[in-house]
Each structure stands twice: as C-alpha cells, then as structure tokens.
C-alpha cells in the first residue's frame, strides 16, 4: 500500500449544456427561453500517516431557466434583457 502524508486533495469536473429556442416577433424583436443543466463530479482524497488513503466522490446537478429578450438592428443585435 502506498504511504500517504497528511494531506487533502480535491478535484472537480463539470460540463454544462444550454438549450434555447428563438421566437421572432415584429420589428426584429425576439425572445428566447433557455434551459441549462450542469452536472459536476467532485472527488476529495484525504490521507494521514495513521490511515490509508480514502476517496469520497460526490455528484451534483444544477440547472436553471432563463429568458433572453432582444432586438435585431441589421447585422448588430442589441440585447434588451437577460434573466
């Protein structure tokens, strides 16, 4: 078995995805409802000279809902609100 020093290490890995559907209104105005989800995997490794190495894995999911409202001006887009 590997000898462990007194220490704690933590790593976190995440990736997210966002989905939205643009709904065009009059005069170049649009709204875009959005949904996001982000799973995260965290590992914590603790070690001491008296005990063997231990690893703890934790899964966490976070998500959200949002709304983008904007207006197109030719080639330029001006966002009016993003919540």
Question: Residue 37's pLDDT is what?
Answer: 92
Query: Strand, coil or helix: what is 53?
Result: coil
pLDDT tens digits for range 5-16: 557 778 888 889
Query: Is the CB of residue 55 less than 8 Å from the CB of residue 11?
Result: no
Mean pLDDT of 55-70: 86
Q: Tell the residue number behind the tokens 């063997």, with chain if given.
A: 52
Residue 67 CA neighbour count, 13 Å, CB half: 6
pLDDT digits (tens, 9 = 90+) for 21-62: 999 998 888 899 999 999 988 887 776 655 666 667 788 889
Whether the model clears a pTM of 0.85, i.e. scores above it, the answer is no
**Which tokens belong to 5?**
């020093």
Residue 2: predicted pLDDT? 52
């Amino acid at each position: 078995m590997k000898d462990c020093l007194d220490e704690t290490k933590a790593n976190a890995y995440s990736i997210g995805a966002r989905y939205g559907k643009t709904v065009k209104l009059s005069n170049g105005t649009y709204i875009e409802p959005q949904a996001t989800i982000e799973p995260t995997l965290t590992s914590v490794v603790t070690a001491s000279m008296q005990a063997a190495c231990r690893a703890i894995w934790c899964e966490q999911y976070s998500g959200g809902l949002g709304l983008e409202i904007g207006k197109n001006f030719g080639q330029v887009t001006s966002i009016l609100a993003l919540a």
